[in-house]
């Protein structure tokens, strides 16, 4: 798993939530956006294809069960305590790993970005470590911690950390020189410059890094459970695959997909909340 380069694209938050800061939000009772309707239509078309395809004989139902069978299997899984235990293990690894990566990435990025000499000294090290795929560390994780939670956290933190620190460094570098000169003219100290000048500029980049890290953390959590055998949804998928329970495999994969969508929506909601003052959010809400 690799991380984005040092020149990230700052994605503007999407959505139609009410905009704070005095911006007028769309009415809650208004028509459903066309984009949402198109998305639902595409999803319905995919479900229809997955339902019909196994019955045509083009694909054996032994390898691709109909969508209705997958949904029935998912309903059965939801009634089993083992499923919720596995889901809890996955969310625990994801949440802890993401939290550690965000705290470490923001702290390291602010410190390095605030000191030009330190940034120059660490640039080559970051460029060397950042492209290393996280899955390449699986043997190291197993040797150090076996198959418990610590192995999962090692992979998740390593993959997510680079998503955050790269964005933070880019944000720190994007500070307006005029604003910095103004801060110095007002004799602001290091903490004052960070709080009033550097951090507001870097925050949109930070939130983009957090959103990217949230998705990457989930991917690495499932991957660690699949490959290492750590408890969680990935481990349940591996067990179902070995035992030949094909509908259960697809049902669990569906759960991981829905979990990914939920994580992305939650991250975007937090992003919009944290950047309510930012021009991108205000422009989006008033559009």
pLDDT above 60: residue 6:
no
What pLDDT shows up at residue 258? 92
Q: Is the pLDDT of residue 110 over 60?
A: yes
**Mean pLDDT throughout 196-221?**
87
Most confident of 55-64, 150-159, 182-191: 150-159
Q: Give dist(CA 135, CA 122) in Å, integer.
A: 24
The secondary structure of 198-211 as a DSSP string is IHHHHHHHHHHHHH
Percentage of the chain surpassing pLDDT 70? 78
User: Do 196 and 61 meet the contact criterion of CB atoms below 8 Å apart?
Assistant: no
- Cα angle 202-206-208, degrees, rounded to a multiple of 5: 120
End-to-end CA distance of the chain: 36
> Distances in Å between the alpha carbon of 187 and those of 178, 180, 195, 202, 269?
14, 11, 14, 21, 37
Asked whether residue 19 carries a pLDDT value surpassing 50, the answer given is no
User: So what's the pLDDT on residue 63?
Assistant: 86
* The residue to which tokens 């990217």 are assigned: 212
**What's the pLDDT band for 135 if we cut at 50, 70, 90?**
confident
Q: What is the pLDDT of residue 62?
A: 82
- Between 278 and 85, the higher pLDDT residue: 85
Q: State the pLDDT at residue 48.
A: 87
Average pLDDT over residues 169-196: 71
Give yes or no for a contact between 191 and 153, defined as CB atoms under 8 angstroms apart.
no
Supply the pLDDT for residue 189.
66
| pLDDT tens digits for range 232-255 | 999 999 999 999 889 999 999 999
- Give residues with Cβ within 8 angstroms of 263, minimum separation 6: 94, 214, 215, 218
Tokens 């470590």, residue located: 129
pLDDT at 8 over 70: no
């Amino acid at each position: 798993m690799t991380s984005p380069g040092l020149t990230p694209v700052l994605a503007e938050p999407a959505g139609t939530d009410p905009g704070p800061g005095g911006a007028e939000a769309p009415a809650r009772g208004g028509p459903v956006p066309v984009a949402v309707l198109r998305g639902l239509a595409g999803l319905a078309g995919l479900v229809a294809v997955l339902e019909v395809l196994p019955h045509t004989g083009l694909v054996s139902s032994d390898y691709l069960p109909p969508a209705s069978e997958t949904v029935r299997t998912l309903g059965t899984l939801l009634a089993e305590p083992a499923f919720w235990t596995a889901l809890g293990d996955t969310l625990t690894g994801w949440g802890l790993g993401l939290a550690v990566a965000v705290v470490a990435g923001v702290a390291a990025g602010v410190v390095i970005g605030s000191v030009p000499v330190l940034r120059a000294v660490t640039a080559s090290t970051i460029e060397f470590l950042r492209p290393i795929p996280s899955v390449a560390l699986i043997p190291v994780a197993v040797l150090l911690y076996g198959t418990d939670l610590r192995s999962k956290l090692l992979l998740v933190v390593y993959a997510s950390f680079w998503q955050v620190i790269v964005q933070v460094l880019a944000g720190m570098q994007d500070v307006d020189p005029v604003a910095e000169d103004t801060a110095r003219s007002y004799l602001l100290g290091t903490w004052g410059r960070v709080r009033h000048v550097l951090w507001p500029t870097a925050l949109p980049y930070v939130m983009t890094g957090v959103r990217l890290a949230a998705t990457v953390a989930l991917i690495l959590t499932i991957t660690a459970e699949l490959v290492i055998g750590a408890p969680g949804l990935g481990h349940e998928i591996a067990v179902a695959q070995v035992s030949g329970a094909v509908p259960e495999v697809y049902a669990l994969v569906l759960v991981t997909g829905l979990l990914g969508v939920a994580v992305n929506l939650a991250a975007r909601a937090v992003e919009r909340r944290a950047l309510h003052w930012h021009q991108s959010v205000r422009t989006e809400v008033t559009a």
